Structures are given as structure tokens and as C-alpha cells.
Amino acid sequence: MAVIGSLLATRYQDHITIALAPYHLPPAVLTTILGSVGGALGVAVHVGGPLGAALAHLARSAFISGMDLGLATGAIAAAGGLLALAALPARPARPAGTSQPPAPSRREPGSAALTSNGPRQ
């Protein structure tokens, strides 16, 4: 979960930073905008007018871009987990205190199983 949140925050900040690079904003305002989408929307309301509306749109689209990346990453991780779960062989539990895997429970008639001492009939 932390990775998804980090990806979202990084994508959000990258989009905002690139879009606001040509403008010289006071450091406190830039920190507020980069800190969260709520901070950016608060600054947009304070600024008002077309500039505030543009900042609000930028903040929302940067946040959605970050969410897209985070959700895609989470979906890929979940799919990988499901594939691993489906592909891994099922193993019976070993009895307590034994270091050898359990003997097969069913054998074909006439087949021999190998043990550490050689073939077993």
C-alpha cells in the first residue's frame, strides 16, 4: 500500500512541478500546492477567477494521473499474486517432527517408490 501512495504522490508532484515551472510562486504557496490536492484546491479558491480555476483543474488532473498509476500498479501486483497462487503447486503439510516429505498416499499397482534406502515396494 505504501508503494501505491508513494507513486500517487510522486506523479502528482511531478505534474504540478512541471506545469508551474514557468511561474515564480512564493515557496510557501508552492509547498502548499505540492503538499496535497486539498492544499492546491484551497490556494485555487483563494486566488479565484480564471487562474484559480486553471490551478484547480491542474491539481485534479495531476491527482487523477497519480491515482491511475497507483491503481494500475496495485492491479498488476494483485494479478501477479493470483498467478503465483494458481501456478504454485499444492503441497501437503508435513507431520510435526519429520524432516522427510510424506510418502505418496496413492500409488499405481506395481509401481515402486524411491526412499533414502532404495526402491520400496
* Tens digits of pLDDT across the chain (121 residues): 788 889 999 999 999 999 999 988 999 999 999 999 999 999 999 999 999 999 999 999 999 999 999 999 999 999 999 999 888 877 766 666 666 666 666 666 665 555 555 555 5
Instruction: Examine residue 13 and state whether it is found in any structural domain, yes or no.
Output: yes
Instruction: Examine residue 51 and state whether it is found in any structural domain, yes or no.
Output: yes
Instruction: Examine residue 25 and state whether it is found in any structural domain, yes or no.
Output: yes
Position 107 scores a pLDDT of: 60
Task: Name the domain count of the chain.
Answer: 1
Instruction: Examine residue 49 and state whether it is found in any structural domain, yes or no.
Output: yes
Instruction: Examine residue 119 and state whether it is found in any structural domain, yes or no.
Output: no
Instruction: Examine residue 102 and state whether it is found in any structural domain, yes or no.
Output: no
Q: What is the pTM of this model?
A: 0.66
Left, alpha or beta for 16 (phi > 0: left; psi -120 to 50: alpha)? Answer: alpha
Position 97 scores a pLDDT of: 67
Position 17 scores a pLDDT of: 93
Q: Give the phi and the psi of residue 66 in degrees, each rounded to 5.
A: -65, -40
Strands 118-120 and 113-115: antiparallel
Left, alpha or beta for 54 (phi > 0: left; psi -120 to 50: alpha)? Answer: alpha
Position 117 scores a pLDDT of: 58
Position 57 scores a pLDDT of: 97
Domain boundaries, position 25: 2-87
Instruction: Examine residue 107 and state whether it is found in any structural domain, yes or no.
Output: no
Instruction: Examine residue 59 and state whether it is found in any structural domain, yes or no.
Output: yes
